[in-house]
Amino acid sequence: MSPASPVLAPAARLRLRRKMLLLATVLGVGGIAVLAFLNRIPLPLRLTVGLTDLIASAVLFLIVRQKFGAPPPAA
């Protein structure tokens, strides 16, 4: 049996959503930076680290979208 997920206040949900989006963005930018600019690291290691960061970023974006819903459309 899994425990019931706690119900968060709207302000806490918004803070958590912002933190997760920030982390996903930082991971994505870091992954691109590793792939593009760190030439002193051997290519296989650079590809592994950079692609892992990009995949983790995509997973976090998906989690945020599923847990918190899509953002409202711009007016």
Kindly write down the DSSP assignment for every residue of 47-71, as one continuous string: HHHHHHHHHHHHHHHHHHHHHH-PP
Residue 28, pLDDT above cutoff 90: yes
Higher pLDDT, 75 or 67: 67
Global confidence as pTM: 0.79
Which pLDDT does position 19 carry in this prediction? Answer: 94
Of 28-37, 48-57, 65-74, the poorest mean pLDDT is in 65-74
Nearest-angstrom CA–CA distance, 71 and 75? 12
